């Protein structure tokens, strides 16, 4: 039996090695969204690479480079998908995915969540990302899974689920803050400052968007007669 | 067919079980820490329970195990959570061998796969390491199993080396792949090696406000260059291990690799909040060490006396 196992083990280990090796090949799939490519961070990357290539004597405009990169990324994604497909059940049922697209690029235009509540006809801040002052459910928001989720919801392609989350959050606020009549949830976007801007004390412009406003009365039980 | 015979012999090589035992303990610990952190503050209920039962978004039927158990309802999810944490604790004490590792792996896979929006790369890494624990005989020594079957916590029982070597391959693949993914100009001279500085400015990941990094900008540039080179150059480790084996004598590359990697992740741990990633990857680093080295370290720290008469094994 042991003799058979010694030989049987060779293809099984080989299968594992090939499966994780193929799965670890770079997959542009998660970033293949036109809306995401319009983000200023992505546009700045394309601009930087176009300038660098021009410096090397390769004449290319940012627009042409974007079109080329999009086509290549799609082709690579299709090829990778074909190669990985036979191993998909092994990946899925055993849990050997290899999504190592970590810190692919710094997000130069991050978006952070904010929550205001309406109390006595006046909007008051309830939560600001990483604030020690407006720290509603701070432990919840600081959990790494929630931070990963909120990072994603700052991108337009997640708008639908962001609305689901905002609605859930408004329900929690309706219970936790009985004096509040409305809640507004939004993202604040800004460009991160360069080292020189930090040293000079330059302030950067912030923009708020993805506003969702809820009337909290709908989440509270009707008072019994 | 000489290569095939060599391969059969390579996969049949055995070593003492200390390195794999330590690996098992750390992976169990990482699992318990990761899952345990989701229980308080309402995180688990919000992210892994369906919207109809108090969660924030529709999760459909959930992953295949959750679906088989009845869907992402509070009873199913908390039950699965309890079973997975219990399996993680059993891994730490070394009870149940591969079976508990399998329960832990499947339970974690089922939970972490429920909501892709709250997932991080550390989930995939932990799933991979749990599966390696299913393949490996991690409870041969330093385990409750050893105590139950032999009457001693520590045994001389030999285990196959290939699961630990797969751990080394996983470590190399992770770094090489993440290095290839880093296509941003900021990781290269084209972007002034500014990636690390700007990543530290992202509020989603930093531990505290990192504006002060502007005053040590050249150091962050050096860190960017080292990180990228270390990741893309990770396959050199495999070449050096092959060379070490061929020549039959140790070289220091493995130790330098471990030193740079551990320092890199210590830096990440100090300045950034990336969940349990650091703990999980440190457990993978344990695969770089042979059982003799693990034993020597254990003896030096616990008994303060040198180990004697250990079997020899290669990385």
A58 touches chain B (CB under 8 A): no
Q: Which of B160, B44, B38, B113 is nearest to A93 (CA)?
A: B113
Q: How confident is the model at residue B248 (pLDDT cuts 50, 70, 90)?
A: confident
Q: Which residues contact A37 (CB under 8 A, 6 or more apart)?
A: A31, A43, A66, A70
Residue A99: left if φ>0, alpha if ψ -120 to 50, beta else—which one? Answer: beta
- Cα A52 to Cα A54: distance, rounded to the nearest angstrom: 5
What's the mean pLDDT in A184-195? 96
**Could you give the 3-state DSSP secondary structure of residue A67?**
helix
User: Cα-Cα-Cα-Cα dihedral of B225, B227, B232, B234, to 10°?
Assistant: 140
Yes or no: say if B172 and A100 are a contact pair by the CB < 8 Å rule. Answer: no
Q: Tell me the C-alpha to C-alpha distance, in Å, between residue B4 and each of B11, B151, B232.
A: 11, 39, 30
Confidence of residue A15 (pLDDT cuts 50, 70, 90): very high
Q: Nearest CA of chain A to the CA of B200: how many Å?
A: 9
> How is chain B classified by DSSP, letter by letter?
-HHHHHHHHHHT-EEESHHHHHHHHHHHHHHHHHHHTTSGGGHHHHHHS-GGGT-SS--TT-SHHHHHHTSS-HHHHHHHHHHHHHHHHHHHHT-SHHHHHHHHHHHHHHHHTS-GGG--HHHHHHHHHHHHHHHS-TTSSSSHHHHHHHS-SS---EEESHHHHHHHHHHHHHHHHHHHH---GGGSGGGTT-HHHHHHT-TTTBSS--GGGGGGHHHHHHHHHHHHHHHHTTHHHHHHHHHHHHHTS--SHHHHHHHHHHHHHHHHHHHB--TTHHHHHHHHHGGGS-HHHHHHHHIIIIISS---SPPP---
pLDDT, one tens digit per residue, over A91-121 is 999 999 999 999 999 999 999 999 999 999 9
pLDDT of residue B313: 57
pLDDT at B249: 84
What pLDDT score was predicted for residue B299? 81
Q: Which pLDDT value is given to residue B307? A: 46
CB atoms within 10 A of CB A58: 10
Summarised one tens digit per residue, pLDDT across range B96-114 is 999 999 999 999 999 999 9
State percent of chain B over pLDDT 70.
96
pLDDT at A213: 98
Structure tokens at A41: 């961070």
Q: Is the pLDDT of residue B261 over 90?
A: yes
Neighbours of B275 (CB within 10 A): 21
State whether A106 and B194 contact (CB < 8 Å).
yes
Position B309 confidence tier, pLDDT thresholds 50, 70, 90: very low
Interval A80-94 mean pLDDT: 95
A182-190 and A206-215 strand pairing: antiparallel
% of chain A at pLDDT higher than 90: 84
For A36-56, what is the mean pLDDT? Answer: 90
**Which chain A positions have a beta carbon within 8 Å of B202's beta carbon?**
106-107, 110, 192
Q: Which pLDDT belongs to residue B311?
A: 46
- pLDDT value at position B296? 86
Rounded CA separation B136/B164 (Å): 8
> How many Å lie between the alpha carbon of A182 and the closest alpha carbon of chain B?
19
CA distance B124 to chain A (A): 6
Prediction pTM value? 0.93
Q: A140-144, B141-145, B192-196, B297-301: which range is least confident on average?
A: B297-301
Query: Which has the higher per-residue pLDDT, B146 or B275?
Result: B146
Query: Taking residues B66-80, what's their average pLDDT?
Result: 97
Model pLDDT, residue A195: 97
SS3 A29: helix
What's the pLDDT at B312? 44
User: Which pLDDT band holds residue A40 (cuts at 50, 70, 90)?
Assistant: confident
For the segment B253-273, the average pLDDT, to the nearest whole number, is 94
Residue A223 pLDDT > 80, yes or no?
no
- Judged against a pLDDT cut of 50, whether residue B300 lies above it is answered with yes
Q: Do B56 and A165 touch (CB under 8 A)?
A: yes
User: How confident is residue B306, by pLDDT bands cut at 50, 70 and 90?
Assistant: very low
* pLDDT over 50 at A72, yes or no: yes
Whole-angstrom CA distances from A153 to B196, B202, B248 are 23, 15, 53
As for the ipTM of the complex, it is 0.91
Please say whether the beta carbons of B307 and B295 come within 8 A: yes
- Report the pLDDT value the prediction gives residue B302, as an integer from 0 to 100: 67
% residues pLDDT > 70 (chain A) = 99
| Residue A5 structure tokens | 């196992």
A98: which chain B residues are within 8 Å (Cβ-Cβ)?
A: 124, 128, 173-174, 177
pLDDT score, position A34: 86
Collapsing DSSP states into helix, strand and coil, what is residue A133? coil
Cβ neighbours around A161 below 10 Å, total? 18
Rg (CA), chain A: 24
**Dist. CA B127–CA B111, nearest whole Å:** 11
Question: Higher confidence at residue B310 or residue A2?
Answer: A2
The pLDDT score that the predictor gives to residue A225 is 65
Q: pLDDT digits over B19-29, tens only?
A: 999 999 999 99
Residue B266 has pLDDT above 80, yes or no: yes
Mean pLDDT of A172-185: 97
The predicted model gives A113-135 an average pLDDT of 96
Contacts of B135 in chain A (CB under 8 A): 16
3-class secondary structure, A109: coil
Please give the angle made by the CA atoms of A36, B175 and A142, to the nearest 5 degrees. 55
Phi and psi, residue A184, nearest 5°: -125, 130
Mean pLDDT of the A144-160 span: 94
Closest CA in chain B for residue A136: B41
Return all residues near A104 (Cβ < 8 A) that are at least 6 apart: A31, B181, B182, B183, B184
What is the CB neighbour count within 10 angstroms for residue B281? 23
Cα angle, residue B292 at apex, residues B290 and B293 outer, rounded to 5° = 70
A151 touches chain B (CB under 8 A): yes
Taking residues B116-124, what's their average pLDDT?
94
Which residues of A fall within a CB distance of 8 Å from B118?
145-146, 148-149
In tens, the pLDDT along B163-178 reads: 999 999 999 999 999 9
Encoded tokens for B234: 């990770």
Q: Which residue of A has its CA nearest to B195?
A: A106
pLDDT band at B314 (very low <50, low <70, confident <90, very high): low
Tell me the C-alpha distance between B166 and A73, whole Å.
30
- What confidence category does residue B92 fall into, taking pLDDT thresholds of 50, 70 and 90? very high
CB pairs under 8 A between A and B: 196
Residues A162-197 as b/e (b if ≥16 CB within 10 A, e otherwise) read bebbbbbbbbbbbeebeebebbbbbbbbbbbbbbee
**Backbone angles phi and psi of B276, in degrees to 5:** -85, 15
User: What is the per-residue pLDDT for B310?
Assistant: 45
Instruction: Judge contact between A211 and A113, C-beta under 8 A.
Output: no
The two beta strands, B158-160 and B14-16, are: antiparallel
- Supply the pLDDT for residue B190: 84
Looking at chain B, which residue has its C-alpha nearest residue A145? B118
For residues B45-63, average pLDDT: 96
- For residue A119, list its beta bridge partners: A122
Cβ distance B202 to A98 less than 8 Å, yes or no, reads no
């Amino acid at each position: 039996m042991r003799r058979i196992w010694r030989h049987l083990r060779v293809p099984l280990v080989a299968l594992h090695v090939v499966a994780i090796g193929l799965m670890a090949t770079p997959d542009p799939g998660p970033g293949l969204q036109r809306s995401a490519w319009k983000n200023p961070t992505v546009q700045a990357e394309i601009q930087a690479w176009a300038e660098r290539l021009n410096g090397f004597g390769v004449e290319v405009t940012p627009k042409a480079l974007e079109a080329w990169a999009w086509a290549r990324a799609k082709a690579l994604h299709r090829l990778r998908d074909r190669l990985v497909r036979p191993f998909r059940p092994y990946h899925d049922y055993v849990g050997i995915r290899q999504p190592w697209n970590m810190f692919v690029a710094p997000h130069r235009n991050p978006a952070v969540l904010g929550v205001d509540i309406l109390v006595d006809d006046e909007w008051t801040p309830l939560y600001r990302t990483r604030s020690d002052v407006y720290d509603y459910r701070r432990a919840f928001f600081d959990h790494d899974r929630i931070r990963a989720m909120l990072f994603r919801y700052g991108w337009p392609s997640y708008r639908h689920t962001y609305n689901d989350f905002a609605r859930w959050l408004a329900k929690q606020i309706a219970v936790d803050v009985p004096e509040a009549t409305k809640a507004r949830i939004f993202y604040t976007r800004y460009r991160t400052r360069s080292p020189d801007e930090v040293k000079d004390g330059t302030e950067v412009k912030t923009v708020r968007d993805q506003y969702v406003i809820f009337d909290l009365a709908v989440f509270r039980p009707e008072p019994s007669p | 067919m000489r290569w095939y015979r060599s391969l059969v012999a390579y996969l049949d090589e055995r070593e003492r079980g200390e390195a794999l035992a330590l690996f098992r303990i750390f992976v169990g610990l990482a699992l318990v820490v990761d899952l345990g952190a989701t229980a308080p503050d309402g995180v688990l209920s919000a992210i892994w329970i369906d919207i109809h039962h108090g969660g924030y978004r529709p999760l459909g039927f959930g992953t295949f195990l959750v679906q088989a158990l009845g869907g992402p309802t509070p009873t199913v999810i908390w039950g699965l959570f309890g079973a997975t944490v219990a399996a993680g604790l059993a891994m730490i004490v070394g009870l149940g061998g591969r079976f508990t590792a399998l329960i832990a792996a499947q339970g974690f896979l089922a939970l972490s796969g429920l909501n892709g929006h709250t997932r991080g790369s550390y989930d995939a890494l932990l799933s991979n390491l749990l599966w390696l624990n299913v393949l490996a005989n991690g409870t041969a020594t330093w385990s409750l199993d050893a105590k139950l079957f032999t009457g001693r916590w520590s045994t001389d029982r030999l285990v196959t080396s290939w699961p630990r070597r797969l751990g080394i391959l996983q470590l190399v693949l992770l770094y090489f792949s993440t290095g290839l993914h880093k296509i941003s100009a900021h990781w290269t001279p084209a972007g002034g090696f500014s990636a690390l500085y700007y990543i530290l400015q992202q509020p989603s990941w930093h531990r505290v406000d990192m504006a002060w990094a502007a005053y040590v900008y050249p150091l962050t540039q050096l860190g960017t260059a080292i990180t990228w080179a270390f990741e893309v150059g990770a396959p050199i480790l495999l070449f050096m291990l092959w060379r070490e084996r061929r020549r039959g004598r140790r070289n220091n590359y493995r130790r330098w690799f471990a030193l740079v990697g551990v320092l890199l992740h210590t830096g990440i741990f100090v300045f950034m909040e990336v969940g349990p990633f650091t703990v999980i990857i440190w457990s993978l680093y344990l695969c770089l060490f042979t059982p003799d080295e693990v034993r020597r370290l254990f003896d030096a720290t616990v008994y303060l006396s040198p180990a004697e008469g250990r079997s020899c094994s290669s990385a």
